[in-house]
Amino acid sequence: MNVSLILIILFVGALVTFLSGDKIASKVALFFGLAAAGCSIVLLNHYNLGENISFISQWISKPNVSFALKADGLSMAMLLLTTVLTPIIIFSSFGNQYKNAKSFYALILFMAFAMAGTFLASDGLLYYIFWELALIPIYFIALVWGNGDLEERKKAVIKFFIYTFAGSLFMLVAFVYLYLKAGSFLIEDLYKLDLSANEQLWIFLAFFLAYAIKIPLIPFHTWQANVYQKAPTVGTMLLSGIMLKMGLYSVIRWQLPLSPLAAKEYMFIFIGLGIAGVIYGSIVALRQRDLKKLLAYSSLAHVGLIAAGTYTLTIDGFRGAVLQMIAHGFVVVGLFFAAEIIFRRYETRLIAEMGGIREQTPRFSSMFLILVLASVSLPLTFNFVGEFTVLYSLSQINIWFALLGGTTIILGAYYMLKMFQHAMLGETNAKVFADVSLNEAVTLVAIIAVLLFFGMYPKPIIDLITPSLEEILTQINRIN
């Protein structure tokens, strides 16, 4: 089976959605989103049977650029995250009305196309093109359909665009340098390069700047909270659920194998940056009064821990990071959707103006509580598996890293449960909170089902990603 079929479905889906008209655009987008998800599951089955599902064809002769897509266990896991979350995100938006809906939903599918291409590309220049293409749709989604004052939205999204685009230019320079050394952009050829320690350091830093902004890691995070708050909830879901995983995935796939000496030499610094993000994000989240901003800083804390896991250069760190990437993708989409459900009824995101919701709708409150508990890594939830594995890997490097990283659980439990208490409990609110609709219930149940199933039985994902991660670790350890 040709892996490029996934990209074709998403790209054609974006075009058809745009041409379909505003009335049926959401349904057309959902159809193509589900088709891509179904195709990904079929592709996974072919991969598990040992079939070659990669694709390569020369695209440009001078310079030597190939349209090369590689589907190993790691990229398959990230592809599934993208294609499964995309229809969930589209379906969750059915409770909202959007002007120029055909453009809105077409941009969602085009963004999914670019993100899937980023996870599958095995040619450096092709990967860079997909990486940059993913930036365009979210820029317009946040700018045109975002919240609040237009001028404030412009400032937030322009800052985001400039930050990420500027960081990516350093990555492009690194790829050009690597091409001059290897004569090819193919990842297999780049892996074979024998770079000096000094060369590796500059390559490492060039990639780090692009990825640190995208993830984001402190001190490159300053765009995040405002964009998450100003973007429509669908945009926030795409950013937090999938797009930031592009940076984390790329650390494992591109940065560390291409510059292992620098990664080993400065390991403690970059683990420290990740853990600093855990502590900073948690402390700032404690002070937030806006529900969306609280979730944004909570996300910053969690991805800081994931990044710290990737820089341990251990199989447990890699495995835990990927597991947590997937778990975080689902739980953060669920939490932002729960915040959107509240906003649809109360027209506020201020926690102080909520309260008493549980008395009016125990069903929604129960589902929201499960998402909150999953986000703080309660055992038997998917997040626990990834977070525990990452903390274990940190303890192998230095026990203090594990203890400091573990503050995400303690502080996270405090601010998330405190938020739940103020938002959902207390006396019945004077405003009527209508019970969740069928659309809202199905979306939340689907997300919760994934979090609970893989929390109790993560083996399928572990078996999928481990061989690829071991190959990458072998490449990293090739040069001692």
Give me the torsion for CA of 292, 79, 308, 468, rounded to 10°: 170
* Environment class of 350 (CB within 10 Å of its CB; exposed 0-12, middle 13-18, buried 19+): exposed
Asked whether the whole model's pTM tops 0.85, one would answer: yes
d(CA 468, CA 47): 12
HEC string of 297-311 equals HHHHHHHHHHHHHHC
Which residue has tokens 């049926």? 24
- According to the model, what pLDDT value does residue 391 have? 94
Q: How far is CA 427 from its chain centroid? A: 37
Rg of the chain (C-alpha set): 21
Residue 79 in contact with residue 116, Cβ under 8 Å? yes
Per-residue pLDDT of the chain (480 residues; tens, 9 = 90+): 688 899 999 999 999 999 998 899 999 999 999 999 999 999 999 988 888 788 887 777 778 888 999 889 999 999 999 999 999 999 999 988 899 999 999 999 999 999 999 999 999 999 999 999 999 999 999 999 988 778 888 888 998 999 898 889 999 999 999 999 998 999 999 999 989 999 999 999 999 999 999 988 888 888 888 888 888 999 999 999 999 999 999 999 999 999 999 999 999 999 999 999 999 999 999 988 999 999 999 999 999 999 999 999 999 999 999 999 999 999 999 999 999 999 998 888 899 888 888 888 889 999 999 999 999 999 999 999 999 999 999 999 999 999 998 887 888 899 999 999 998 887 777 778 888 899 999 999 999 999 999 999 999 999 999 999 999 999 998 765
Reduced to 3 states (helix: H, G, I; strand: E, B; else coil), residue 123 is: strand
Q: What pLDDT was estimated at residue 270?
A: 93
pLDDT in tens, 342-368: 999 888 889 988 888 888 888 999 999
The pLDDT value recorded for residue 250 is: 96
- Report how far Cα 368 is from the mean position of its chain's Cα atoms: 21
The span from the CA of 217 to the CA of 221, in Å, is 6
Three-state secondary structure call for residue 135: helix
CB neighbour class for 57 (10 Å; exposed up to 12, middle 13-18, buried from 19): exposed
Inter-residue contact 118 to 246 (CB < 8 Å): yes
Q: How far apart are CA 419 and CA 269, in angstroms?
A: 33
In which element (H, E) is residue 396 found?
helix 382-397
Structure tokens at 247: 């940076």
Closest by Cα among 128, 93, 129 to 108: 93
Q: Which residues pair with 205 in a beta bridge?
A: none
**In degrees, to the nearest 5, what angle opens at C-alpha 68 toward C-alphas 320 and 242?**
40
Q: Find all residues with CB under 8 Å of 200, minimum gap 6, and list them.
A: 258, 259, 260, 261, 262
| The pLDDT of residue 435 | 86
Domain locations in the chain as residue ranges = 266-480
395: its two tokens: 């303890």
